[in-house]
Structure 1
Amino acid sequence: MPHTTAVVILNWNGVDQLRTFLPSVITHTPNAEIIVADNASTDISVEWIQQNYPSVRIITLNQNYGYAGGYNQALKSVDADYLVLLNSDVEVTEDWLQPLVQTFETNPAVAACQPKIRSYREKKVFEYAGAAGGYIDQYGIPFCKGRVFHELEEDTNQYNQAAEIFWASGACIAVRNDIFKRIGGFDADFFAHMEEIDLCWTIHRMGYSIQYIPESLVYHVGAATLKKDNPKKTFLNFRNSLWMLQKHLPSNKLFPVIFLRMCLDGLAGLHYLSKGQWRQCLAVFNAHMSFYFSAKNKGKRKRLKQLPFYYTDVPVILSKSLIWAYYIRGKKVFNQLF
């Protein structure tokens, strides 16, 4: 029996994004079920889909569970072999899906993959949230091929080879359904931000591969739900990154890495303060306080200990400080880092 694929779009009050981007998904996705999972929207999202695209399956949730919890709830009722989790602000291109599916079909060691992600607003430039595949440094700070901090590269075909990556973008991540559910899905406590990196780290610990597939291309708007300078976004990014390190670091690295990471966070907070961005500074402080008092995260670390551990063997963790490389040594392009 051939494998099945479901493209699942999580939506919360995103009728404008659906009007703009759902048509491209309908047009260019002939061989997959298209599902919209609605996170208890209060706009007319559900009614608009029903009126304009009655073939699209709608899963309605009883509250806004965020990105992580929303997908966990919705995917309980999705039985396809392969899942593609697609943001509502993504424009797909012709034949975008087949290279992702083909990767799963030909390589059983690959548990997740992502396409090339370029900016919807600047079509030749890589997009912040994923670009040509995600990586982290030794302190858990994420970056991408094509994006280091806020430096975005133009796509000149410099990353046109499929490659092993550390994390696949939550804007468009394809994952084997059985692996996703064996893990237990996303960590719903993250709510939003960093949960896909946490999921991918767990996938690596299980011994599977994650791939970047440049033959597939999508365009992403980015920051459609929370703007980049939103203090809630800052809080979630800083807190969730610390949670992720606490869950996955080996015991001998746990204290020194988290201590140094929190010192770096403190410098970031002072930087915000020096620019008069006191709400951002407060968000960093609140993220640290939340991390200090999140006792339940220790239980998650214990549960993950039963999985194989591959931290030191994964070749796509940068074994140095990205902050040092970027700000002190001036290494602002991905190919200069390794």
Structure 2
Amino acid sequence: MDAIPGRMSSVQSEVKWLHSLLNDRRPHMGIDTSSVSVLIVTYNSDHVVEDCLLPLPSDSEVLVVDNLSTDLSIEKVTQVRPQAIVIANSSNAGFARAVNLAAEHAHGDYLLLLNPDARIEENAIVTLLRDMETDPSIGIAAPLMTDSHGAFKVLGAGFAPTIKNMALHGFGISRVAPRNQKLEGHHLYRDSNLDSVRELDWVSGGCMLVRRSVWEALGGLTTRWFMYAEDVEFCLRARQLGTKVILDPGAIAVHDFGGSSKDVAGSTNTVWIVNLYDLYCSTMASSRVACLVWKWTVASGFLIRAAAFRLQGIVRPSARRSADANVSRYRAFATALLRAAPARRATRT
């Protein structure tokens, strides 16, 4: 669901921007950050978790669940944030189970899911809180996620993974015309229409503020998957409850993946698309035929994009290296998707 962006004159835009900036420099203006419980899951995160913890409000509760790290993640957390509640798992339980465990011990009226390699300043948290306290129908709010180098093009936010939305994404149509809202697909882009708060179908669990009442009504994250897709599924269920999911570009968070698109062996991570297929088939598809159409539509889009990058590498030798990398990446996505087993119908776990 799209918000009406509204165009303003350049003078009005400057005034609005300055007013927003001044408000952001007075973060507490009736907004109580002690109502926020920050939920962080660590797994060998000692090299990033300090930067994650330092900007958080001093009066916000912080809970860290460690998934059996072999580094000094726990020691780093207790050193940087001595008052944090640390829960050491006896196994690597996955993202969803760890977040649900943290939520069980949280006391805040709002739960902020935050990746250990993400950073959000207090002012941005206040902006999201203000959104939610101003409009009680908002159940989930997220900032605009960027990276410290400004290299992000695809945003972790967008619309439900329907056949249409996945076709727009898979074939790269939404990337070609990112500001055309009629062509927006599963993901938004950095150049999408972000002039105002957007009401969407899903936002990333890497930095997501959730009203506790919504969290409890939904029973937390599904544990169907070890990781990936649980945030999309959670937001879709929230939408079914009638609550809004928004992205506020006036709140900024920084997320440096540090090579998160690669696994330990250096191969392309394809779990996200397999889980997304499973999500569609288990909760959205009307029939097995719809599942097959989804699979072949998305895979075809990936293969066509691989072919386009192959051609780019031939036409522009200077871009050959990056083109070859993209060819390999999109072929891997398509191959994993085509090999994916049919999904079983979802049950709440």
Q: TM-score, normalised by structure 1?
A: 0.72
Q: 2:132 — aligned with what?
A: 104
Aligned equivalents of 2:118, 2:127: Cα separation in 1: 17
Q: 2:42 — aligned with what?
A: 11
Contact 1:117 1:127 in 2 (8 A): no
Contact 2:100 2:220 in 1 (8 A): yes
Say if 1:299 and 1:93 are closer, same or farther in 2 by CA, change over 3 A. closer
Deviation at 1:12, TM superposition (A): 0.6
Deviation at 1:272, TM superposition (A): 6.0
Paired residue for 1:263, among 296, 308, 311? 296
Contact 1:13 1:41 in 2 (8 A): yes
Q: 1:320 — aligned with what?
A: none
Q: 1:201 — aligned with what?
A: 236
Question: What is the correspondence of 1:129-148 to structure 2 with a 5 Å cutoff?
Answer: 129-130=155-156, 133-136=157-160, 138-139=162-163, 141=166
Higher mean alpha-carbon deviation, 10-19 vs 274-283, is at 274-283
Higher mean alpha-carbon deviation, 71-80 vs 210-219, is at 71-80
Q: 1:248 — aligned with what?
A: 283
Aligned equivalents of 1:112, 1:249: Cα separation in 2: 21
Q: 1:309 — aligned with what?
A: none
Say if 1:213 and 1:150 are closer, same or farther in 2 by CA, change over 3 A. closer
Deviation at 1:209, TM superposition (A): 0.9
RMSD, aligned α-carbons: 3.5
Say if 1:284 and 1:204 are closer, same or farther in 2 by CA, change over 3 A. same
Deviation at 1:225, TM superposition (A): 4.2
Question: What is the correspondence of 1:79-118 to structure 2 with a 5 Å cutoff?
Answer: 79-118=107-146
Say if 1:129 and 1:224 are closer, same or farther in 2 by CA, change over 3 A. farther
Higher radius of gyration, 1 or 2: 2
- The percentage of counterpart residues that share the same residue type is 21
Paired residue for 1:190, among 196, 218, 225? 225
Deviation at 1:284, TM superposition (A): 4.8
Match of 2:222, as an amino acid?
A: D
Aligned equivalents of 2:291, 2:285: Cα separation in 1: 11
Q: 1:119 — aligned with what?
A: 147
Contact 2:42 2:66 in 1 (8 A): yes
Aligned equivalents of 2:232, 2:89: Cα separation in 1: 24
Contact 1:128 1:150 in 2 (8 A): yes
Deviation at 1:193, TM superposition (A): 1.6
Q: 2:154 — aligned with what?
A: 128
Deviation at 1:72, TM superposition (A): 2.0
Match of 1:165, as an amino acid?
A: L
Match of 1:82, as an amino acid?
A: Y
Say if 1:81 and 1:266 are closer, same or farther in 2 by CA, change over 3 A. same
For the residue of structure 2 that corresponds to 1:117, the secondary structure is: strand
Match of 2:205, as an amino acid?
A: G
Question: What is the correspondence of 1:30-69 to structure 2 with a 5 Å cutoff?
Answer: 30-69=58-97
Q: 1:327 — aligned with what?
A: none
**For each residue in 1:44-79, what CA deviation from the matched residue of structure 2 results, as whole angstroms up to 9, or x when unmatched?**
110122233212221222211222222123222223
Match of 2:341, as an amino acid?
A: F
Contact 1:79 1:177 in 2 (8 A): no
Q: 1:317 — aligned with what?
A: none
Q: TM-score, normalised by structure 2?
A: 0.70
**For each residue in 1:27-60, what CA deviation from the matched residue of structure 2 results, as whole angstroms up to 9, or x when unmatched?**
xx13421222211111111012223321222122
Q: 2:262 — aligned with what?
A: 227
Say if 1:150 and 1:105 are closer, same or farther in 2 by CA, change over 3 A. closer
Contact 1:231 1:283 in 2 (8 A): no
Deviation at 1:112, TM superposition (A): 0.4
Deviation at 1:17, TM superposition (A): 0.6
Aligned equivalents of 1:199, 1:186: Cα separation in 2: 6
Say if 1:247 and 1:180 are closer, same or farther in 2 by CA, change over 3 A. farther
Paired residue for 1:78, among 106, 122, 128? 106
Deviation at 1:184, TM superposition (A): 2.4
